[in-house]
Amino acid sequence: MSQNERTFIAVKPDGVQRGLVSKILGRFEDRGFKLVGIKLVTPTENLLKEHYAEHVNKSFFPKMLSYMMSGPILATVWEGKDVVRQGRAILGATNPLNSAPGTIRGDFAIDMGRNVCHGSDSVESANHEISLWFKPEELNDWKLNQQAWIYE
């Protein structure tokens, strides 16, 4: 659980279209995580097929692919202690109806097909997803001045 652990969090097209970007970014900043990469992108079909490789042959994939290509996605990389697991907790359960109030999905989503965000589910998947969405030079290594007030 290094303080340098990184995760990939994406605000999906519904989150961008609904004007939730600043609220979602604020949840991670308020918690004390450091933003090291951010960009607004409209993903290609190939990128999404790589990102969701385990779902490509599933019946729901064409509909999900169309939705994910329907508008811009805010791709972000966050850094901090246990950020992958904590990021998933901030997002809430994949199915918003199972998400607790106070989580992003619990507060802003109802249907699983419009669940506002994606978050890496392991350090390995985070590293893979970050490499798909960001070039190394697009990630910033910088010192968070608040770090001494967040970590012991």
60 is in an annotated binding site: yes
95 is in an annotated binding site: no
Q: Which residues pair with 8 in a beta bridge?
A: 77
Strands 6-11 and 34-41: unpaired
Distances (CA, A) of 20 to 33, 49, 52, 96: 18, 25, 23, 15
- Residue 118 falls in the annotated catalytic set: yes
134 is in an annotated binding site: no
How far apart CA 42 and CA 74 sit, in angstroms, is 9
27 is in an annotated binding site: no
DSSP 103: B
Strand locations in the chain, DSSP E?
6-11, 34-41, 73-79, 117-119
- Which candidate in 51, 55, 118, 128 is catalytic? 118
12 is in an annotated binding site: yes
Backbone angles phi, psi at 132, to 5 degrees: -75, -40
94 is in an annotated binding site: yes
Annotated binding site for ATP: 12, 60, 88, 94, 105, 115
Question: Which residues carry out catalysis?
Answer: 118
Query: From the annotation, which residues make up the binding site?
Result: 12, 60, 88, 94, 105, 115
